[in-house]
Amino acid sequence: MRIDLDGRTALVTGSTQGIGLAIARTLASAGARVGVNGRSEESVRRAVGELREGLPDADLVEVAADVTTEEGADAALAALGDVDVLVNNLGIFEARPALEITDEEWRTYFEVNVLAGVRLTRAVLPGMTDRGWGRVLFVASDSAVVIPAEMVHYGMSKTALLAVSRGFAKAAAGTGVTVNSVIAGPTHTGGVEDFVRSLVGDDLPWEEAQQTFMREHRPQSLIQRLIEPEEIANLVAYLASPLSSATTGGALRVDGGYVDAILP
């Protein structure tokens, strides 16, 4: 099975590190022209440099823009022109007791994790449907289905993405454009390492800390380890490709078997 994205332009939001960086790398390796996005020119430049170390011939575009704002979203799209593949990956998370989450924090999580992707999708979908081809992806989370007690606001935002992606898929019905969400499970990123440490402490070696976290906080995982970002990126690349033409309106799991259900 060969994933070929030659001639396609992709925008991956929040792609200077973690899952987003892995997705950018995988799409670029499949031949796509990839917009690498972050809020600062420094972070974007650093990420592009890292990608070029392994992919010296990759077609990468530096997209330094805060896509949580209308101005930033417009700037990102202007930097790329027509977008064929939109990966709404940008997201924030933090452990907070449910009764301590403020109104402002609830708004922030909705603005960043949901509305930023909605705004970009609303902007690119008409062009995709006019051209008769396009892929829109929302990176959701197992927390969309199994709401974590330690960050209800994050879970709420990821649940919303499942509804949003299904709704946009209906808006694109019959056009050759597909819209899906990806339910990512507990994934090994720098931010997650910090999160794990916040829950199990700083004294344990990383492997032991990870095992403790999975045992005490994510015992449902069937692979009993954190997922590597590249494993998430592999599913995203498939869904971004022509091979996934009959898959739309779905919530597809790459969660290590964490969600204890046959369906999402």
**Model confidence, pTM:** 0.95
Whole-angstrom distance, CA of residue 97 vs CA of residue 78: 40
Task: Give the helix ranges, DSSP H, for 132-188.
Answer: 152-171
Looking at 109, 154, 238, 258, which residue is catalytic? 154
CATH code for the part of the protein at 9-187+227-254: 3.40.50.720
| pLDDT at residue 264 tops 80 | no
Residue 43 phi, psi dihedral angles, 5° rounding: -65, -40
pLDDT in tens, 6-22: 999 999 999 999 999 99
- Please give the angle made by the CA atoms of 258, 167 and 242, to the nearest 5 degrees: 75
Query: Do 94 and 191 meet the contact criterion of CB atoms below 8 Å apart?
Result: no
pLDDT in tens, 189-224: 888 898 899 989 999 999 999 999 999 988 999 999
Determine the pLDDT at residue 191. 82
pLDDT in tens, 87-132: 999 999 998 999 999 999 999 999 999 999 999 999 999 999 999 9
Tokens of 56: 């010296």
DSSP structure class, residue 53? H
What DSSP element (H or E) covers 235?
Answer: helix 229-239
Would residue 154 show up in a list of annotated catalytic residues for this protein?
Answer: yes
pLDDT in tens, 131-167: 999 999 999 999 999 999 989 999 999 999 999 999 9
Query: How many other β-carbons are positioned within 10 Å of the β-carbon of residue 231?
Result: 18
